[in-house]
Amino acid sequence: MPGPALVVGLGNPGPEYERTRHNLGFRVIDVLADRLGERLKPAKGMRALVAEARDGDTRIILAKPTTFMNASGGAVSELARYYKVDPQNIVIVHDELDLPVAQLKVKRGGGDAGHNGLKDITKALGTKEYARVRIGIGKPPGRKQGVDHVLQGFSKKEQPDVDVAVEQAADAALSVVNAGVEAAQQRFHAGEEKPPKPARAIRKSVTVSAPIDDVWEAWTTVEGARTFFAPDARIELRPGGAYEIYFNLEEQPGNKGSEGCKVLAYRRPQFLVFSWNAPPEIPALRKSKAKTRVELQLEESGGKTKVSLTHSGWGKGADWDECFRYFEDAWDLVLSRLKASFESGPTDWSKRS
């Protein structure tokens, strides 16, 4: 695309909407901001959280409107005017009822298919000729109304495919920006009748003998992290806040642990998502500042809490393979220490092997 590109993910603001079907666009923008090493923040005079990023030589404006879905148009048109972005250079990422869950499609122009966010954007821009990255959420079952369906979360069965689709949608948005809609269609529509290929991910779980609120505190406070995760930490529980776990206090800055990692999303006390970096033992990957994504799901039953961990966002190549193997073992150790911290007391870091 000539000139700057504006990539907008649609959704509703507020923690109660974070994991709903209607907020897939927001999730994609979070992934893109993390990949490109930028932080979304309020922009003066704009009704959106904004990050200015670069992908190579391409300037990209990432945005999540802070209006509700049905009023997205005003926010998008304000951003386009302020950053002088032509509608041809706008990419809207949104959920799509007319596509099966996790199916991805890219197009330019066309109707809104009853999507009120798109309807408002088209009205505000005065044109339909902007690009769309569409992520399927499936039609509501039975006689269920669409408005109820889009405001619900995904089932456990659907979630792995949706996680893949979010990562692929981020790829698709960058493909549109850098190579155009047709190139993105050729790449992402090939074999679309098949279900998405399962993403490589580390999946671990442990059941802890403690109430969910106590386990939540262990993951989301510095004091809690010190009991099992590492000797020290910096945790700011807000989207974009620091999630830095310091495993090796004697090392030079930048090699102490997860410096530069951030909270991506959370809902107290059910889930936490944060970015994660490569260990210093894999210097090339560490130096590249590439980030992966860790999601924790907490479920309480009978006074105990099940912690389910998914570590995704892996690249390809020998360094990535080594990193994957490293964390396969590392997360086993972390979760065993979490369990032990509630059953036999906090980790004694002075005796750490």
What is the distance between the alpha carbons of residues 105 and 182, in angstroms, rounded to a whole number? 11
Catalytic residue among 22, 94, 115, 311, which?
22
Tokens of 295: 């999601």
What is the distance between the alpha carbons of residues 98 and 229, in angstroms, rounded to a whole number? 43
What is the distance between the alpha carbons of residues 159 and 286, in angstroms, rounded to a whole number? 29
Tokens of 74: 């005003």
Q: For the chain, where are the E strands, in sequence order?
A: 5-9, 41-42, 48-55, 58-65, 90-96, 104-108, 131-136, 202-208, 232-235, 243-246, 263-267, 271-277, 291-301, 304-312
Q: How far is C-alpha 201 from the geometric centre of its chain's CA atoms?
A: 14
The CA-based angle 73-76-82, given to 5 degrees, is 135
Q: Collapsing DSSP states into helix, strand and coil, what is residue 232? A: strand
Instruction: Say whether 22 is catalytic.
Output: yes
Q: Collapsing DSSP states into helix, strand and coil, what is residue 340? A: helix
Residue 91 dihedral angles phi and psi, to the nearest 5°? -120, 120
Residue 26 dihedral angles phi and psi, to the nearest 5°? -60, -45
List the catalytic residues.
22
